[in-house]
């Protein structure tokens, strides 16, 4: 193969030629061949390249390039000529990097013209490479943008967008551009096409680039994302919008992940509107009642993903997962956002995600992380959710580990939706059967209802009482042999007479009962003073006895005494109501978690011998009336899950404690006992069952005694034996047990004794 001979003088002479509309057809072929020879010899011969620059060849080349760019017809038609020019330029800069500064100053405007006018991808790549070589030696960003920031940003972004994924230095350009204040605002206003923005966001989503973002760019990014969230419900069927939404969401997730590199005043983490809009979108997706579809995190090949959980291309890293992750990042160590999350119901929403997307362990792990931090920042605010979450902690922490069968229901082959006791997985249908079986088992062993007896059922509006109402109404309305032979009488005790907004609350409970063709009977706590009483209307003003009950509670010295007095008064009133309706049974909604906490508080208050009766399925202390606790085998998390699956809510009312110096928020033995049980249950999942099973083995003294005269007038427990003979009791005190006697000094008032007259 013969070596091509290069005539240097001829090359320089041809470079002196200028193109116009008249000679374009004859000059262009000569220039194409001439530039081909020039690019080859510059690339091969360093000495020639040096002589070419020194012999005025560089100036001739600069003039020729300007001449070509000014000819719009050449930009539209003849790509080969431009291609040769850029290749010559690249080879010259590679031989002498200082020439890059010269080309940048002289050609920056013409680079922009080429990128805007030429549709050729090849020209865009060559131009972008030339731009990169021109500016890569500039260590200071100010040197690159000294003659106009906007035009330079436009040029570099054009390079980025036109070269797309084929240019290896795109990330470098983004890094340079985004260090400028408010550059992201300019870029998004300049490039409105979704594809262009997606490319820009994709290049932005890297660790180095994200931490170079200044405050103004981060603030704009959060505002832009909030705007996308507001349009989500309307444009969710637009595929291009969803791609843009997911790209922006991915950037925000990455930008809030590394806590060590994020300042306390980070605009994204401090923007509460991001948390609000995220929660709204996630709630909307959950309302679709899907565990994931082609748009929202389909999860099929989890084994492969478990080995590489950072694989963003996997469908499990979808919108749901990233929304949960962003919520977790924003709430992490941010008390203001945690409080806002409590108001928005974020914990309940995350629990919903873990139920519907149980197989997507990425969602369950991020939800677990978020809920733990929310509970840690403000445990008391999320106390109800904490019970449900911590008691079923294993549900959220479980990973597939390649064993998908752990996610199947233990009773059937359906996909499980709830995990209890770290190992028991149930689908929705089997979980309902499980709860019904426990309820029937607790009562069925005693064969209490055989002849369609009446039973008083107390509804206090709590989750447990709503659960009890649903179960009882379902069983008594059945037509099969499993029908419960019971005629229920539903009652509610209004604890406060000063309630101004309670009519709506009471009406909600009334509507709940009426919707199942039953009647709700309302009584006032002040009716405890009445020897013969009748039910009241839910809008009727209470009688003068309400003043007595208010004074009685005002004389109580602590929240512990008030809570104990309230519980005993309600029990005594339920006994009187049962006698009024001539029924032998009163059904209470006490679950095993509540009863376990009651065990500790009873021990602390000196009611140790009364514990077997207070936690038993059947309490036989009261003459002629048996108090039943059919939910004693069910835990609070199980009841919460049942209510969630079958759309049962709980109804709250202003209670006596709320109106008496808000003592529900103050410390008491009952409250501390409950929190202690919850804390132990979160660490040792068998705490409640162990406490309850241990106490159930203790013998009941009261239930075996028939001597009514030896019982306490207030709680109907057996009177304590007097062991300290130095202690002298008054005639009135010897009618009460030890614990009830301790209540007397705290609420010593004539109104207390009126109860027993």
pLDDT tens-place string over residues 460-480: 888 888 899 999 998 888 887
Cβ–Cβ < 8 Å for 336, 402: no
- Let me know: does 678 contact 388? Beta carbons within 8 Å: no
The domain limits of the chain are 1-137, 446-714
Token digits of residue 195: 């594809």
Q: Has residue 399 got a pLDDT over 50? A: no
Place of tokens 């996909």: 415
Report pTM.
0.50
Higher pLDDT, 181 or 401: 181
Across 273-282, 295-304, 526-535, least confident range: 295-304
Mean pLDDT to the nearest integer, 148-174: 54
- pLDDT for position 496: 66
Assess whether pLDDT exceeds 50 at residue 386.
no
- Of 128-132, 252-256, 378-382, 745-749, the poorest mean pLDDT is in 378-382
CATH number belonging to domain 446-714: 3.40.50.620
DSSP string across 289-331: T-S--SSS-----HHHHHH-TT-TTSTTSSHHHHHHHHHHHHH
Residue 561 has pLDDT above 90, yes or no: no
What's the CA gap between 161 and 159, in Å, rounded? 6
Q: Edge-to-edge, what's the strand order for the sheet holding 453-458?
A: 520-524, 486-494, 453-458, 585-587, 626-628, 618-619
Q: What are phi and psi of 200, to 5 degrees?
A: -65, -45
Cα–Cα distances (Å) from 511 to 69, 478, 515, 517, 522, in that order, read 80, 21, 6, 10, 13
Which position has the higher pLDDT, 635 or 151?
Answer: 635
Q: Where are the alpha helices (DSSP H) in 45-166?
A: 46-54, 57-70, 72-77, 79-95, 99-117, 121-135, 141-144, 149-163
Q: Three-state SS string across 421-490, please?
A: CCCEEECHHHHHHHHHHHHHHHHHCCCCCCCCEEEEEECCCCHHHHHHHHHHHHHHCCCCCCCCCEEEEE
What number of other Cβ atoms are within 10 A of residue 192's Cβ?
Answer: 8
Sign of CA pseudo-dihedral 603, 608, 612, 615: negative
Question: Are 610 and 715 spatial neighbours (Cβ–Cβ below 8 Å)?
Answer: yes
Find all residues with CB under 8 Å of 138, minimum gap 6, and list them.
101, 104, 144
Nearest of 252, 255, 258 to residue 319 by alpha carbon: 252
H or E element in which residue 356 lies: helix 346-356
pLDDT tens across 75-95, in order? 555 567 777 777 777 777 777
Tokens of 542: 């209470």
Q: Which SS3 state, helix, strand or coil, does residue 536 take?
A: strand
Rounded to the nearest integer, the mean pLDDT of the chain is 71
DSSP state of 698: S
Tokens 């049974």 label which residue? 585
pLDDT at 458: 93
Please give the pLDDT value at position 751. 56
What's the pLDDT band for 301 if we cut at 50, 70, 90? Answer: very low
Q: Which helix (H) or strand (E) holds 618?
A: strand 618-619
Q: What are phi and psi of 213, to 5 degrees?
A: -65, 130
With 50 as the cut, is the pLDDT of residue 306 above it?
no
pLDDT per position as a tens digit, 672-688: 888 888 888 877 888 88
| Structural contact between residues 178 and 212, judged by C-beta atoms closer than 8 angstroms | yes
Question: Which one-letter DSSP state was computed for residue 647?
Answer: T
Query: Residue 178's pLDDT is what?
Result: 62
- Does the pLDDT value for residue 193 go beyond 90? no
Measured distance CA(271)–CA(171) in Å, rounded: 27
**CB neighbour list of residue 713: distance below 8 Å, 6 or more residues apart:** 735, 736, 740, 756
**pLDDT > 90: what percent of the chain?**
4
Enter the tokens of residue 33.
């061949």
pLDDT above 50 for 279: yes
For range 716-731, the mean pLDDT: 61
Banded model confidence at residue 629, pLDDT cuts 50, 70, 90 = very high
The pLDDT assigned to 539 comes to 40
């Amino acid at each position: 193969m013969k070596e091509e001979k290069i005539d240097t003088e001829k090359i320089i002479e041809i470079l002196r030629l200028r193109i116009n509309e008249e000679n374009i057809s004859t000059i262009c072929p000569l220039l194409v061949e001439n530039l081909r020879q020039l690019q080859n010899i510059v690339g091969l011969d360093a000495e020639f390249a040096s002589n070419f620059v020194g012999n005025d060849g560089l100036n001739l080349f600069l003039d020729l390039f300007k001449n070509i760019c000014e000819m719009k017809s050449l930009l539209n038609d003849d790509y080969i000529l431009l291609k040769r020019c850029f290749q010559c330029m690249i080879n010259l800069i590679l031989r002498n990097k200082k020439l890059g500064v010269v080309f940048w100053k002289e050609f920056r405007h013409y680079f922009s013209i080429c990128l805007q006018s030429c549709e050729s991808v090849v020209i865009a790549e060559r131009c972008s490479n030339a731009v990169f070589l021109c500016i890569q030696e500039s260590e200071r960003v100010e040197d690159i943008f000294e003659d106009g920031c906007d035009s330079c940003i436009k040029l570099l972004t054009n390079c980025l967008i036109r070269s797309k994924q084929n240019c290896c230095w795109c990330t470098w350009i983004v890094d340079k551009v985004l260090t400028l204040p408010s550059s992201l605002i300019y870029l998004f206003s300049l490039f409105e096409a979704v594809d262009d923005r997606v490319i820009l966001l994709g290049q932005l989503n890297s660790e180095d680039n994200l931490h170079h973002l200044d405050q103004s760019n981060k603030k704009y990014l959060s505002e832009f994302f909030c705007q996308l969230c507001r349009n989500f419900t309307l444009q969710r069927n637009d595929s291009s919008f969803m791609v843009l939404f997911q790209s922006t969401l991915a950037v925000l997730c990455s930008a809030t992940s590394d806590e060590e590199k994020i300042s306390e005043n980070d605009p994204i983490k401090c923007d509460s509107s991001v948390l609000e809009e995220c929660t709204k979108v996630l709630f909307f997706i959950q309302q679709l009642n899907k565990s994931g579809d082609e748009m929202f995190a389909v999860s099929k090949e989890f084994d492969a993903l478990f080995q590489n959980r950072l694989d963003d291309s996997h469908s499990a890293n979808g919108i749901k997962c990233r929304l949960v992750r962003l919520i977790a990042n924003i709430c992490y160590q941010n008390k203001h956002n945690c409080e806002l999350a409590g108001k928005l119901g974020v914990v309940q929403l995350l629990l919903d995600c873990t139920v519907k997307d149980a197989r997507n362990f990425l969602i369950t792990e991020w939800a677990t992380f978020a809920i733990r931090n929310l509970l840690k920042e403000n445990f008391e605010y999320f106390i109800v959710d904490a019970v449900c979450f911590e008691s079923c902690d294993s549900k959220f922490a479980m990973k597939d580990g390649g064993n998908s069968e752990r996610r199947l229901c233990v009773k059937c082959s359906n996909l499980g939706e709830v995990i209890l006791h770290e190992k028991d997985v149930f689908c929705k249908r089997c979980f309902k059967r499980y709860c019904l079986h426990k309820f029937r088992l607790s009562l069925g062993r005693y064969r209490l209802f055989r002849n369609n007896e009446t039973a008083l059922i107390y509804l206090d509006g709590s989750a447990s009482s709503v659960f009890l109402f649903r179960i009882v109404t379902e069983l008594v309305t059945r037509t099969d042999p499993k029908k419960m032979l019971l005629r229920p009488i539903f009652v509610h005790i209004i604890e406060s007479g000063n309630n101004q907004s309670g009519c709506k609350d009471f009406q909600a409970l009334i509507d709940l009962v009426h919707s199942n063709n039953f009647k709700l009977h309302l009584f006032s706590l002040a009716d405890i003073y009445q020897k013969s009483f009748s039910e009241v209307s839910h809008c009727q003003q209470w009688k003068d006895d309400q003043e007595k009950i208010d004074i009685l509670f005002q004389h109580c010295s602590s929240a512990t005494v008030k809570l104990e007095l309230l519980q005993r008064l309600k029990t005594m009133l339920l006994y009187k109501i049962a006698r009024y309706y001539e029924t032998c049974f009163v059904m209470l909604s006490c679950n095993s978690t509540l009863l376990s906490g009651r065990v500790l508080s009873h021990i602390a208050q000196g009611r140790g011998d009364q514990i077997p009766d207070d936690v038993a399925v059947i309490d036989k202390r009261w003459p002629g009336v048996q108090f039943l606790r059919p939910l004693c085998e069910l835990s609070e998390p199980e009841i919460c899950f049942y209510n969630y699956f079958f759309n049962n809510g709980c109804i709250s009312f202003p209670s006596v404690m709320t109106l008496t110096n808000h003592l529900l928020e103050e410390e008491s033995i009952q409250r501390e006992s409950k929190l202690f049980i919850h804390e132990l249950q979160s660490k040792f999942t068998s705490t409640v069952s162990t406490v309850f099973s241990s106490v159930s083995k203790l013998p009941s003294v009261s239930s075996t005694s028939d001597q009514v005269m030896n019982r306490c007038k207030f709680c109907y427990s057996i009177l304590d034996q007097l062991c300290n003979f130095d202690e002298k009791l008054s005639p009135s005190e010897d009618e009460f047990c030890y614990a009830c006697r301790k209540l007397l000094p705290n609420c010593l008032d004539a109104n207390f004794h009126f109860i027993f007259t």
